[in-house]
Amino acid sequence: MHDPESWFRRELERRGVSRREFIEFCGALTATLALPRAVEAQVAMAIESAQKPVLVWLEFQDCAGNTESLLRASRPTVGDIVLDTLSVDYHETIMAAAGHQAEANLAMAVAQKSGEYIAVIEGSIPTGANGAYCTIGGRSALDIAQTVCAGAAATIAIGTCAAFGGLPAASPNPTSALGVSDAVPDVKNLINLPACPVNVENLTALVVYYLTFKAFPPLDAYRRPLFAYGKAIHDNCERRAHFDAGQYVEAWGDEGHRTGYCLYKMGCKGPVSYQNCPNVRWNSGTNWPIGCGHPCIGCAEPNFWDTMTPFYQHLPGIPGFNIANQVDRVGLWATAGVAVAFGAHGVAKFFQGRNVPALAKPSPPPREDRPAAMPSSDEKGGSQ
């Protein structure tokens, strides 16, 4: 059934990865993707037989945090191989060539693999000063993004800056920075993998999904894969029982903090933040922010630098008064945009004295040329 000579199998053998370990890894991935166990074999087969698709990774107004995250892929030997199944033809931080040799690699990928390559974009795209806020080889980021996205089979906006504008677009957005969907509105097959930075397990899972099904996973209203961004942090948080019991951290280092009580009062944004951190965790499953005693800052949400700050101010609602019900409602509203939730709770004072841009765009309508299976706005948005 499997081609014993496949490049991937040989690669596995060279790296000392047994068939059984590989199947176990595929099992873990299918769990991340919330797929039925029966799909495992299909995942394994697809990875083994895949020809290396070409990937070009562009960095614009970025901090390279997503690139660093890529280097942290867990399950090291096999995780590496999954990423090795891509031919990374352009990535400024890791590539050996520089200057015009580097630019030639990009030009060649765009010309020869047009319609086939995957574009990954890290960092926001500035539109101020005629593009002079970010140039590479003398060309503006916007110019490069338009060219590269036009020929891409799909574009992955990795990290919150590329997905939604992120930090550079935070008020007052000095460089008129935009996320990919706004900077290149005709981009095809866009998938947003926000978070600051992205959790590499979610990139790995997306790549496997694509190689397995030759399609992209269902997305939410912000074009985020549901397998990674489908549930609120709060729903899967290991401290949820303390929240329900009304047990809160009151001061840093107090007994409740040491015991692992809920961080709601210290400003946790877990109830209005959607990501799989509590399940997948970070750095080979070692830990996650709430696990180390600090509140969630909602880093995968649009405009979180404006909507989730001040970080240490707790979400609307007074603990102790039917709070479970109240926070669940906050969570429900959040999919329609945290701004709506905050507005509903009269917390515009969060932003007093600051020039805050429009907080949450209306959900983008599904497009036929995009692969998304959008949840209907009623599914999670409630009556907002």
Of 38-46, 54-62, 227-235, 325-333, the segment contacting another protein by CB under 8 A is: 54-62
Please, what is the minimum distance in Å from the beta carbon of residue 329 to another protein? 26
Please, what is the minimum distance in Å from the beta carbon of residue 227 to another protein? 19
Contact with another protein (CB under 8 A) among 245, 251, 318, 348: 251
b/e map of 205-241 (b: 16 or more CB within 10 Å)? bbbbbbbbeeebbebbbbbbbbbbbbbbbbeebebbe
Of 146-154, 229-237, 287-295, 321-329, the segment contacting another protein by CB under 8 A is: 287-295
Q: Is 318 in the site for another protein (CB under 8 A)?
A: no
Contact with another protein (CB under 8 A) among 19, 116, 174, 348: 174
Q: Which two tokens stand for residue 73?
A: 């892929």
Pairing of strands 177-178, 190-193: unpaired
Q: Taken in order 77, 83, 84, 88, is the CA torsion positive or negative?
A: negative
Contacts to another protein from residues 290-309, by CB under 8 A: 290-294, 297, 305, 309
Q: Is 19 in the site for another protein (CB under 8 A)?
A: no
Q: Is 252 in the site for another protein (CB under 8 A)?
A: yes
Contacts to another protein from residues 180-219, by CB under 8 A: 196-197, 199
Contact with another protein (CB under 8 A) among 3, 18, 19, 52: 52
Run of H or E residues at 241: helix 240-244
Please, what is the minimum distance in Å from the beta carbon of residue 123 to another protein? 9
Residue placing its CB nearer to another protein in the complex, 41 or 107:
107
Residue placing its CB nearer to another protein in the complex, 257 or 329:
257
Contacts to another protein from residues 78-117, by CB under 8 A: 80, 86-89, 91-105
Contacts to another protein from residues 152-171, by CB under 8 A: 166-168, 170-171
Contacts to another protein from residues 128-147, by CB under 8 A: 128-140, 143
Distance CA 24, CA 79 (A): 12
Distance CA 336, CA 222 (A): 10
Please, what is the minimum distance in Å from the beta carbon of residue 211 to another protein? 15
Q: Taken in order 211, 28, 268, 62, is the CA torsion positive or negative?
A: negative
DSSP letters spanning 28-61: HHHHHTT--GGGHHHHHHHHHH----EEEEEESB
Q: Is 357 in the site for another protein (CB under 8 A)?
A: no
Q: Is 328 in the site for another protein (CB under 8 A)?
A: no
Please, what is the minimum distance in Å from the beta carbon of residue 114 to another protein? 17
Contact with another protein (CB under 8 A) among 78, 110, 121, 177: 177
Q: Taken in order 292, 297, 302, 303, is the CA torsion positive or negative?
A: negative
Distance CA 283, CA 376 (A): 34
Please, what is the minimum distance in Å from the beta carbon of residue 382 to another protein? 30
How far, in Å, are 5, 19, 44, 48, 77 from residue 2 at the CA level?
Answer: 9, 12, 9, 8, 21
